[in-house]
A and B are shown apart, each in its own frame.
Chain A
């Protein structure tokens, strides 16, 4: 069964303390892996798409990486405004629109 698992469920960091969020997946033929950010009371906001193992993408303090079994979202020297829930989703080769979502990691950055 296709599955996306994110860990940890919640992560509290001090401002400037770098860390990583994990997204492990089991899917029959990966088309792409997506990272989204969701702020309270808002819909998810797209961050990255990764398509092949070894691929990396960066945006400000965030860097996403992909292996054959998992993806990491690395956050470097985070600021309080990086606090949000980060969602991971995957799409399968046999479906060009359905996404399978993880439950998310709630990130809290304390000043």
Chain B
């Protein structure tokens, strides 16, 4: 079956430009997560969506970052006025639910963002 897909796979942008990263979760998964992965560091939690509940945005590093999830499926992470420190791999994951013993997260391949 289809896994989590992300697009684009690579994005090179100039400092100050806005970028949009897209995530298509596994069909039927109600929980969706965005992470940032920098070289040599652990995954950094950004934002979490669960069904129709208000998202947990506590991990977003600044107000330049925002995300939405339309119709409980596709999600878009937007970074405004990109900075060089935003360069990283942005990973999206989905799971059937959150908590319990079945919250295995399935990851997409990530979007590598490079800000020049």
A-to-B contact residues, CB < 8 Å: 4, 41-46, 49, 51, 87, 89, 91, 96-104
Q: Are A42 and B109 in contact (CB under 8 A)?
A: yes
B-side interface mostly: loop
Q: Are A97 and B33 in contact (CB under 8 A)?
A: yes
Contact of A102 among B31, B42, B103, B105 (CB under 8 A): B42
Q: Are B107 and A97 in contact (CB under 8 A)?
A: no
Closest 10 CB pairs of A and B: A96-B99, A43-B107, A101-B42, A97-B98, A101-B43, A46-B104, A103-B42, A44-B107, A96-B98, A43-B108
Chain B residues whose C-beta falls within 8 Å of the C-beta of A51 in the assembled complex: 101
How many angstroms from the CA of A100 to the CA of B42 in the assembled complex? 8
Q: Are B109 and A96 in contact (CB under 8 A)?
A: no
Nearest CB in chain A to that of B102: its residue: A49
Chain B residues whose C-beta falls within 8 Å of the C-beta of A97 in the assembled complex: 31, 33, 48, 50, 56, 98-99, 103
Contact of B45 among A41, A43, A99 (CB under 8 A): A99
How many inter-chain residue pairs (CB < 8 Å) link A and B?
56
Contact of B109 among A4, A43, A87, A89 (CB under 8 A): A43
Nearest CB in chain A to that of B35: its residue: A101
B29-82 interface with A by 8 A CB criterion: 31, 33, 40-45, 48, 50, 56
Q: Are B100 and A96 in contact (CB under 8 A)?
A: yes
B-to-A contact residues, CB < 8 Å: 4, 31, 33, 40-45, 48, 50, 56, 91, 93, 98-101, 103-110
How many angstroms from the CA of A100 to the CA of B91 in the assembled complex? 15
Nearest CB in chain B to that of A6: its residue: B42
CB distance from A4 to the nearest CB of B (A): 7
How many angstroms from the CA of A20 to the CA of B93 in the assembled complex? 27
Given A97-B98, A99-B105, 14 more A-B residue pairs with CB atoms under 8 Å apart are A42-B110, A43-B110, A44-B91, A44-B105, A44-B107, A89-B42, A96-B98, A96-B99, A97-B31, A97-B50, A99-B43, A102-B42, A103-B42, A104-B42
CB distance from A19 to the nearest CB of B (A): 21
Chain B residues whose C-beta falls within 8 Å of the C-beta of A46 in the assembled complex: 104-106
How many angstroms from the CA of A89 to the CA of B93 in the assembled complex? 14
